[in-house]
Chains A and B, each alone.
Chain A
Amino acid sequence: DTAVSQTPKYLVTQMGNDKSIKCEQNLGHDTMYWYKQDSKKFLKIMFSYNNKELIINETVPNRFSPKSPDKAHLNLHINSLELGDSAVYFCASSQRVPAEQYFGPGTRLTVT
Chain B
Amino acid sequence: QKEVEQNSGPLSVPEGAIASLNCTYSDRGSQSFFWYRQYSGKSPELIMSIYSNGDKEDGRFTAQLNKASQYVSLLIRDSQPSDSATYLCAVNLDRGSTLGRLYFGRGTQLTVWP
Contact = CB atoms under 8 A, between A and B. Distances in A.
Interface residues of B, number: 25
Contacts of A55: 99-100
B98 A40 contact: no
Contacts of B36: 103
Interface string B81-114: 0000010100010100111111110110000000
B107 A97 contact: no
A105 B98 contact: no
Contact of B101 (A42, A43, A56): A56
Contact of B97 (A41, A90, A98, A106): A98
Interface in A61-97: 90, 94, 97
B17 interface: no
Interface residues of A, number: 23
Contacts of B34: 100-101
B104 A48 contact: no
7 contacts: A40-B106, A42-B104, A43-B88, A45-B102, A90-B44, A100-B49, A104-B43
Given A43-B104, A98-B100, 6 more contacts: A44-B104, A48-B101, A56-B101, A97-B100, A100-B34, A101-B46
